């Protein structure tokens, strides 16, 4: 299973853009990159998924370079309610649908 590395924590302020970069050097050809958000006492919530280049939805953008060895989750104009742990995962390839969670990035949005 591909291992991911992401910063342990990040601080930001309301209205700023937050970018979280995840390294996944041994990503397999068939693996997708998926990001989840988790609030305390809740299950992880799907944010976005991509394979290559750029993916955008109503809450975030995901940038994936050509070599796919890293990816960056971009959260535009964060608010206090975006304070959470964000997990980067790769999977769906050789490991099938199993997901391996790394440590996640704890994002604190300050007023």
Partner 1 sequence: SAVISQKPSRDICQRGTSLTIQCQVDSQVTMMFWYRQQPGQSLTLIATANQGSEATYESGFVIDKFPISRPNLTFSTLTVSNMSPEDSSIYLCSAQENTQYFGPGTRLTVL
Q: Residue 95's closest CA among 43, 7, 26, 41?
A: 26
State which residue, 18 or 104, has the beta carbon closest to partner 1: 104
Which H helix or E strand runs over 28? Answer: none
- Asked whether position 23 contacts partner 1 by CB under 8 A, the answer is no
CA nearest to 74, candidates 45, 32, 35, 42: 35
Residue 25 is a binding residue for partner 1 (CB under 8 A): no
Residue span binding partner 1 (CB under 8 A) among the ranges 18-26, 58-66, 70-78, 95-103: 95-103
Residue 104 in the binding site for partner 1 (CB under 8 A): yes
Residue in 73, 86, 89, 62 with CA at minimum distance from that of residue 1 = 89
**Least separation in angstroms between CB 104 and partner 1:** 6
What is the contact surface with partner 1 in residues (CB under 8 A)?
Answer: 34, 36, 41-46, 49, 87, 97-104
């Amino acid at each position: 299973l591909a291992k991911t590395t992401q910063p342990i924590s990040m601080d930001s302020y309301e209205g700023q853009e937050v970018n979280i970069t995840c390294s996944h050097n041994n990503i397999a050809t068939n693996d997708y990159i998926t990001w989840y958000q988790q609030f305390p006492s809740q299950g992880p919530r799907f944010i976005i998924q991509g394979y290559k280049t750029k993916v955008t939805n109503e809450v975030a953008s995901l940038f994936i370079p050509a070599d796919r060895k890293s990816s960056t989750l971009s959260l535009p104009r964060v608010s206090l309610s975006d304070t959470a742990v964000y997990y980067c995962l790769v999977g769906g390839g050789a490991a099938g649908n199993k997901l391996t969670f790394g440590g996640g990035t704890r994002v604190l949005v300050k007023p």
